[in-house]
Amino acid sequence: MSADSIRVTLPATRDNLSALEAGQPVLLSGIVYTARDATHASIAGALEAAGALPFELAGQALFYAGPTPPAAGRPIGSVGPTTAKRMDAWTPALLDAGITATIGKGARSEAVREACVRTGAVYFAAVGGSAALLATHVLTAETVAWPELGTEALVRMELIDFPAFVAIDAAGRDLYAMAPAEWKVAR
């Protein structure tokens, strides 16, 4: 990752995230919670039933990922981002309820972009298919809930210098929308 990467500590307050700009490379350190499709359905169910996010997730970051089992002496073998679009149906409500950052891969809906602006949240993109490398940036992994979901369980992970890019910033700039056009112009 390039030398000018910005270090971001998670969980981050919306104030901490407000200066980030779409396209910037970042190194993420601190706590994230993994959540995929089935996890989102469970979180959304708990939110609806209780009126608040379960497991004190307010203020936290969600990492769209389903890791492989431990390997090579590390807490997990491989872990990388899954396609964020599949979580779009739930994301605006989760951002409204207090999630401040999400980590995944791929373009997202207009509703998610608007929710980032409305709530000051940021969407980070990690490089899909680089999960062996990304796993070397995971210090600990501990299942918090729904172990019966297997790889879709809610897992609390501690990251160190985990490489990513700012994909949607709190001002609503969307790297996936901007980048192809910028490349064509630069060419």
Partner 1 sequence: MPRVEAIALAVEAAVAEAAVTLRPDVLSAMRAALGKESSERGRAVLGQLLENAQIASRDAVPLCQDTGTVWVWVELGAQECLPSDLHAAIDAAVARAYRENALRMSVVRDALFDRTNTGDNTPAFVDITLRPGSGATVHVMLKGGGSDNASLVAMLDPSAGEDGVVETVVRAVEAKASGACPPLVIGVGVGGTFDSVAKLAKKALLIPLDERTPEKRRRALEDRLLTAVNATGIGPAGLGGLTTALGVRVVSAPCHIAALPVAVNLGCSALRTVTVEVG
Residue pair 102/123 in contact (Cβ under 8 Å)? The answer is: yes
If we measure between CA atoms, which residue out of 60, 155, 46 comes closest to residue 98?
A: 60
Name which of 152 and 169 has its Cβ closer to partner 1.
152
Name which of 60 and 78 has its Cβ closer to ligand SF4.
78
How deeply is 56 buried, as exposed, middle or buried, from its count of CB atoms within 10 A (0-12, 13-18, 19+)? exposed
How deeply is 4 buried, as exposed, middle or buried, from its count of CB atoms within 10 A (0-12, 13-18, 19+)? exposed
Name which of 69 and 129 has its Cβ closer to ligand SF4.
129
Q: Which of 86, 128, 145, 172 binds ligand SF4 (CB under 6 A)?
A: 128
By CB under 6 A, tell whether 133 contacts ligand SF4.
no
Q: Tell which positions 74-103 bind ligand SF4, by CB under 6 A.
A: 80
Number of helical H runs and strand E runs in the chain: 6, 7
Least Cβ distance, residue 66 to ligand SF4 (angstroms): 10
What is the C-alpha separation between 44 and 65, in angstroms, rounded? 17
Least Cβ distance, residue 154 to ligand SF4 (angstroms): 20
Binding residues for partner 1 (CB under 8 A): 1-2, 23, 25, 38, 65-72, 74, 77-80, 82-85, 105-107, 125, 127-136, 149-152, 163, 165, 167, 175-176, 178-184, 186-187
